[in-house]
Amino acid sequence: MPQICFDFDGTLVYSFDAAFNALQSVGPAFGCGDLTREQLQEMRGMHVRDVIRILGVPLYRVPQLARRMRAAMRAELMETPPVEGIPELLRELDRRGYRLGLLSSNAESSLRDYVARYGLNQFDCVIGGTGLFSKARALRGLIRREGIQPADLIYVGDELRDLDAARDIGAGFVAVSWGYTAPEGLASAGPDRLLERPDDLLEHLLRVWPSPHD
């Protein structure tokens, strides 16, 4: 049975404001200068590796910065409802028999708290704490656990590193236009589909993976 796995930040929930505020709060301790919202917007077309280079954070400090950022973002994200149309999409995918997963570098406890708070109870599995650059490994683990082939998985995300992870394991990748990376940057990287709105995903799936219940 096909598996659809979603990223969290920027995909299910609009997280730009929380990320900007967190960077303003914890960034100076890691050598990041003051950034305006406009400057951060300009970075949306870049890979996260290039963003880190511009920020001037040594690579060995990146995991610590990521942990501090996630902790600083948690409260604000918990108060941020899902992207409009996402709850309806998840209910419809679940009704049609697609298996749904959630995989993110956020802590698993935070993910479970969020989906419980907003009634997103359609996920068959929730995987957190993947690390900034280890999503491919986590996706491989999901494939083994579900007993499926890479071609039976589509990862839905908003960043170039999400696309890299899916391509590394031979899975499909669908990009969302409302997340961190600018749509132009995602489109140029060649996802299987770039979604303008959440219900575009169902249209895409019905073409490439007919619903198990249809």
Supply the residues annotated as catalytic. Answer: 7
Structure tokens at 83: 């992207």
What single string gives the DSSP state of each residue in 14-26? --HHHHHHHHHHH
Q: Across the beta sheet with 3-6, what order do the strands follow?
A: 125-127, 99-103, 3-6, 153-157, 172-176, 193-195
Query: 26 φ, ψ to 5°?
Result: -105, -15
Closest CA relative to residue 157, chosen from 110, 189, 116, 114: 189
CA distances (Å), origin 120, targets 24, 68, 81: 30, 26, 11
How would you label 191-214 residue by residue, b for 16+ Cβ within 10 Å and e otherwise? Answer: bebbbeebebbbebbeeebeeeee
